[in-house]
Amino acid sequence: MQNLVAVVVNLPKQSEKQILYYKFPEKMVDILKIGCRVLVPVGNALREGYVVDFPETSEIKKLKEIAQILEDKPLIPEELMKLALWISKSYLSPIHKVIEQIIPPAMRIEPDRWVRLLENNELSISLSVLDVRVANILSSLENGPVKLNSLLRKYGGDINSSLQDLKQRGLIEIFLDFKTKETNSSVTIIEKIVKKEEYDNVLKELKRAPIQLKILNILDTVGQIEQQKLLKEYSLNLSSINALEKKGYIRKHKLKKERTPELNEEFLNHKKLTLNDSQQNAVSLITKAINENQLETFLLHGVTGSGKTEVYLRSIINAVNQGKGALLLVPEISLTHQTIGRFKGVLGQQVVVLHSGLSEGERLDAWNALRSGNAKVAIGVRSAVFAPVQNLGIIIIDEEHESTYKQTEPDPRYHTRDVAIERIRNLNGVLILGSATPSIETYYNAKQNNYTLIELAQRVKANPLPKVEVVDLKNELESGNKSIFSRVLHQSISDTLAKGEQVILFMNRRGYSTFVLCRECGESLMCKNCSISLTYHFVNSEMRCHYCNYRASVPTKCPHCGSKYIRYFGSGTQQVEVELIKAFPGIKVTRMDVDTTTRKNSHQELLAEFSKGETQVLLGTQMIAKGLDFPNVTLVGVIAADTSLNLPDFRAGEKTFQLITQVAGRTGRGDKIGKVIVQTYNPEHYAIIHAKNHDYKSFYEKEIEQRQIIGYPPFNSLVRIIINGHEEDIVMNLAEKIGLDLKNISKDKIEIFGPAPAPLAKIQNRFRWQIILKANSLDFLRKVAWHEYKKYVNLKEYNQLRIIIDIEPQSIL
């Protein structure tokens, strides 16, 4: 019987051929495992692939053989490969796209073409009579293989014919070599090696070389030191160091450097906290499940400030003490710093971090530390759900309701919560979903006893939840106040600053003005690539699109009618900052939005300056609305609660309730009483009323009633099909064809909305049409959506279009 292996190979545009079959030689029997990375022949080329199975038979009779195993042990653990196959099937995504999420960028391989001499001692032509350039090429290869690109750079791009001639004569071979991008970071360490009895003589000898003498004295004090640090801190030069090495007085050696992201000391927290009764009960229930290897999903529903993080920490400590690994997920990079500081303060080097703000080297070192078992705990954002934690026993998803846990672009469009449920189910472990405002679907599952509900109804210090005051902005306008700040909020900011306390202001739009409009013709300034208005940015004095980053100068005349009467409408974080400084001269403001957090470590630098009291006001978008804990914050202001309420989305009310409740929870977390002011044009909306009262259960009852009436999740499932392309008529044509097909296929089993232009009908010069499918069987929706995808994806007339299938979308924009 043949040794057969199934291998995932990236074959673009061939969705039916994700897995290919090969045979492998007997010598690989004990080495080849599921998760191994291999080179396999596809056509006339070698391609990277990953082993997913060892089938007993294959319908293909003449199978090619695996060319090479690239690592000495599986790169992807078997349990993660099993998870990848599940994600591919569940989210209709190519498996290689899932694997790209699992493997850090620095571990991906890059093939290089090399040239080498073949063993041939009887050359038919003497080098002396060859063309000079050909002779030079052969001479270059005498010391070993050379990259083809190096030869092309050295001798010119027109040497290909010469190389082919040499290849046909059997003198050279052009071959592919696959190497990973991975690079090990190392530092040069310097140490003194002068014997004690010789030291006085050496000092005398170096009297005429004062810099060398200085180096020796430094090393005598500090022992060994990094060369770069020695050069930088003591303003020295490399030639003096090299001279000492040549004399035999110092020694250099390389030391592997672990690339660990910096953590500001402000966030390191070693405090030992005492659990209250509710926390202790939660930890006991979770620990029991961990100790008994019991598959369990808990919903930890705790009001803001109820100590959920401490419950997470104690649960993870118990898991680690049982020899198990742990994974803690947070929705935003900005939330990682305080969380990491708390966990590192207790667990030290057992904790590593995974998020997009790290360098490739830092991500690689963290990934390798987990894969080797040197680290036991990973903290990260969405993609960290794929972290190769050894003997994983517990996954925690903090702020589980956040929409950032759903990947929207690119494939796979997975939901972290559902991936975590499947991963922990395969491992028979424990999953904790934590939130003060659980998603409607999660709370419904807890009420149906699919999850175990644990309630933390009180704040840790038994402080009352902050009082929330709702301000009707319609009344402010009627009274003549056209400011961003209502009179109540203005006075409250003034009072808070006078007491030396801090303020958080939440505005879920960046930029200065949200749109610019001509008062004569009524036209707003639109992005040329997207069907969305441009946002005015005061700092750079430019108009910018937040979808494609198109930028334009601020016009002096309307581009539509030529009028000079242009007006700025709406507010963004930049305008709030300008108005704030104008209203309260001399105050210092920390603004956090996408524009201010692009640099590495910018998140924690900004939060650290606020934490240390260097600034009085923290102003930002939703990245400041949750998870942060600053005891001196006693006032939170929500500048415009209607931003999320007016979205064309059935989850608009839910998102609004969650945002207000979460940002309100940032105040009154210390010994001082907190206060919240919410500005809105819709004070009577049930989401705002229940957020004001900190009443999640009443909000849930109202929302779940409406969901049941209209048949939206959790009572039915949704699948969104998006077709986009540069030619709107072709996009519309395909959308209408798919819509007609679905109506014929479904036979009343599904509801179909569309085809119609998406709410954002054009992004990055691509027109977007969508069809939304609704039914009580997600499997059936997958089946019909996949049928349509396969039918049209490879047709020539639609080869410039993209067909996207989004399973259980979190947004329909």
The whole-angstrom separation of Cα 577 and Cα 593 is 12
Query: Would you tell me which CATH number, out of the four given (3.40.50.720, 3.30.70.600, 3.40.50.300, 3.40.640.10), belongs to the domain 717-807?
Result: 3.30.70.600
pLDDT at 269: 62
- Nearest 5°: phi and psi at 760? -100, 90
Reduced to 3 states, what is the DSSP secondary structure of residue 488? helix
Per DSSP (E only), the strands in 524-625 are: 535-537, 542-544, 551-553, 566-569, 589-592, 617-620
How far is CA 303 from its chain centroid? 26
Q: What is the pLDDT of residue 116?
A: 85
Return the beta strands (E) in 630-680 as ranges: 633-638, 675-680
Mean pLDDT, consecutive 10-residue stretches, the chain (813 aa), reads: 85 72 90 92 86 86 88 92 96 93 84 78 48 78 82 78 81 75 69 80 82 85 82 82 86 70 59 87 95 95 90 95 95 74 84 82 87 92 95 96 91 96 96 96 96 92 86 88 91 94 84 56 71 68 73 78 67 83 92 79 82 91 78 91 76 90 85 90 91 95 94 94 94 94 82 88 89 94 94 89 94 78
Fold observed for domain 186-256:
Arc Repressor Mutant, subunit A (1.10.10)
Contacts of residue 220, Cβ cutoff 8 Å, sequence gap at least 6: 192
CB 263 within 8 A of CB 604: yes
Q: How far is CA 96 from CA 7, 18, 388, in A?
A: 10, 8, 17
Tell me if residue 544 falls in helix, strand or coil. Answer: strand
- CA atoms of 318 and 287, how far apart (whole Å): 7
CB-count exposure of residue 471 (10 Å: 0-12, 13-18, 19+): buried
Is the preceding peptide bond at 809 cis, omega within 30 degrees of 0?
no
Measured CA to CA in angstroms, residue 137 lies from 127, 132, 145, 286, 744 at distances of 11, 9, 11, 68, 66
Contact by Cβ (8 Å): 64, 76:
no
Phi, psi values for residue 127, rounded to 5°:
-60, -30
pLDDT at 689: 95
Name which of 375, 370, 363 is nearest 388 in CA terms.
370
Distance CA 313, CA 604 (A): 21
Q: Please check whether residue 275 is in contact with residue 283, taking contact to mean a CB–CB distance below 8 angstroms.
A: yes
Q: What is the pLDDT of residue 356?
A: 76
**For residue 559, cis peptide bond before it (omega within 30 degrees of 0):** no
Q: Are 292 and 447 in contact (CB under 8 A)?
A: no
Please calculate the CA angle 531-533-539 and round it to the nearest 5 degrees: 140
C-beta of residue 397 within 8 angstroms of C-beta of residue 366: no
The type of residue at 337 is H
Place of tokens 């001082």: 672
- CATH 1.10.10 maps onto the chain at 111-180, 186-256
Q: Where in the chain is the domain with CATH 3.40.50.300?
A: 265-456, 467-510+571-707
**pLDDT for the residue 474:** 87
Are the CB atoms for 304 and 662 separated by under 8 Å? yes
Q: Domain 265-456 classified CATH 3.40.50.300?
A: yes
Q: Measure CA 594 to chain center.
A: 14
- In the chain, % helix, strand, coil (3-state, to 5) comes to 40, 25, 35
Single-letter residue type at 561: C
Answer yes or no: are the C-beta atoms of 153 and 80 closer than 8 Å. no
Of residues 524, 544, 542, 548, the one with CA closest to residue 534: 544
CA distance 731 to 704: 36
| Residues recorded for the chain | 813
Q: Find out whether 518 is annotated in a ligand binding site.
A: yes
| Secondary structure of residue 688 in the 3-state scheme | helix
Task: Confirm whether residue 530 is marked as ligand binding.
Answer: yes
Alpha helices in 381-521 (DSSP H): 416-427, 440-447, 473-478, 487-498
Q: Residue 512 has what pLDDT?
A: 45
User: Which residue in 426, 451, 430 sits closest to 325, CA to CA?
Assistant: 430
pLDDT of residue 807: 96
Q: β-strand 296-302 against 430-435: which pairing, if any? A: parallel
Report the distance separating Cα 553 and Cα 545, nearest Å: 12
Q: How far apart are CA 443 and CA 454, in angstroms?
A: 11
- SS3 of 85-153: the string is HHHHHHHCCCHHHHHHHHCCHHHCEEEEEEEEECCCCCCCCCHHHCCHHHHHHHHHCCCCCEEHHHHHH
Is 36 annotated in a binding site? The answer is no
Name the segment(s) of the chain with CATH classification 3.30.70.600.
Answer: 717-807
CATH fold for the domain made of 4-108: GIY-YIG endonuclease (3.40.1440)
Nearest to 308 by CA among 409, 443, 399: 399
Start-end ranges of CATH 3.40.1440.60 in the chain? 4-108
Given phi > 0 = left and psi -120 to 50 = alpha, else beta, which region is 747? left
* Predicted TM-score (pTM) above 0.85: no
**Could you tell me whether strands 45-53 and 37-42 are parallel, antiparallel, or unpaired per DSSP bridges?**
antiparallel
Distances (CA, A) of 186 to 13, 211, 224: 41, 26, 15
Q: Which CATH fold topology does 111-180 show?
A: Arc Repressor Mutant, subunit A (1.10.10)
| Residue whose structure tokens are 């009960």 | 281
Q: Which residues contact 723 (CB under 8 A, 6 or more apart)?
A: 731, 734, 735, 738, 755, 768, 769, 770, 801, 802, 803, 804
From the list 257, 345, 393, 344, the residue with the least C-alpha distance to 353 is 344
Confidence at residue 190, expressed as pLDDT on a 0 to 100 scale:
86
Tokens 């290919």 locate to: 20
CATH architecture, range 467-510+571-707: 3-Layer(aba) Sandwich (3.40)
